[in-house]
Amino acid sequence: MAKIHTAGETVFDIIFENGTPTGGNPGGSVLNTSVSLGRLGLAPRFLTDICSDMLGENIKKFLADNGVEAVSVIEDSGMKTSVALAFLDEHKNARYQFYKSRPGKCHDELFRTDFKPGDIFLFGSFYGIMPEIRSGMKRLIDSAKDNGVLTVYDPNFRAPHLPDLPRVMPFIEENIAAAGIVKGSDEDFNLIFKASTFDEAVKAVRQINPDATLFYTKGAAGCVCNHQGNIVECDAPPIKPVSTIGAGDNFNAGIVYGLVKHNINLNSLQQGIGSEVIKDIMTTATKLAQEVCMSQANYIAKR
What pLDDT does residue 49 have?
87
Structure confidence by residue, pLDDT tens digits, 22-59: 989 999 999 999 999 999 999 999 999 888 888 989 99
Domain 4-293: give its CATH code: 3.40.1190.20
Rounded average pLDDT over 273-281: 98
Q: According to the model, what pLDDT value does residue 28 have? A: 93
Report the share of the chain in percent with pLDDT over 90.
Answer: 79
Q: Domain segments of the chain: what residues?
A: 4-293
The pLDDT value given to residue 204: 98
Answer whether residue 102 shows pLDDT above 70. no
Q: In sequence order, what DSSP letters do the residues of the chain get, joined into one string?
A: -PPEEEE---EEEEEEETTEEEEEEEE-HHHHHHHHHHHTT---EEEE---SSHHHHHHHHHHHHTT-EEEE----TT---EEEEEEE-TTS-EEEEEE----SS--GGGS-----TT-EEEEETGGGT-GGGHHHHHHHHHHHHHTT-EEEEE----GGGGGGHHHHHHHHHHHHHH-SEEEEEHHHHHHHH---SHHHHHHHHHHH-TT-EEEEE-GGG-EEEEETTEEEEE-------S--TTHHHHHHHHHHHHHHHTT--HHHHHH---HHHHHHHHHHHHHHHHHHHTSSSSSPPP-
| CA dihedral over 221, 227, 232, 235, signed as positive or negative | negative
What's the mean pLDDT in 194-211? 98
On the 0-12 / 13-18 / 19+ scale of CB atoms within 10 A, 147 is middle
Say how far apart CA 194 and CA 183 lie, in whole Å: 16
The stretch 69-90 carries a mean pLDDT of: 84
- Residue 75 scores a pLDDT above 90: no
Which pTM was predicted? Answer: 0.93
Average pLDDT, the chain: 93
Of the CA atoms within 13 Å of residue 255, those in its CB half-sphere come to 31
**How high is the pLDDT of residue 106?**
67
Residues for the chain: how many in total? 303
Q: pLDDT tens digits, residue range 120-170?
A: 999 999 999 999 899 999 999 999 999 999 999 999 998 989 999 999 999
Q: What is the mean pLDDT of residues 86-100?
A: 85
Q: Give 80 or 120, the one with higher predicted confidence.
A: 120
Q: Which of 82-96, 144-158, 281-295 is least confident?
A: 82-96
Average pLDDT over residues 197-204: 98
**pLDDT tens per residue across span 242-273:** 989 899 999 999 999 999 999 999 999 999 99
d(CA 296, CA 227): 33
| 117 vs 110, higher pLDDT | 117
Phi (first) and psi of residue 182, to 5 degrees: -115, 125
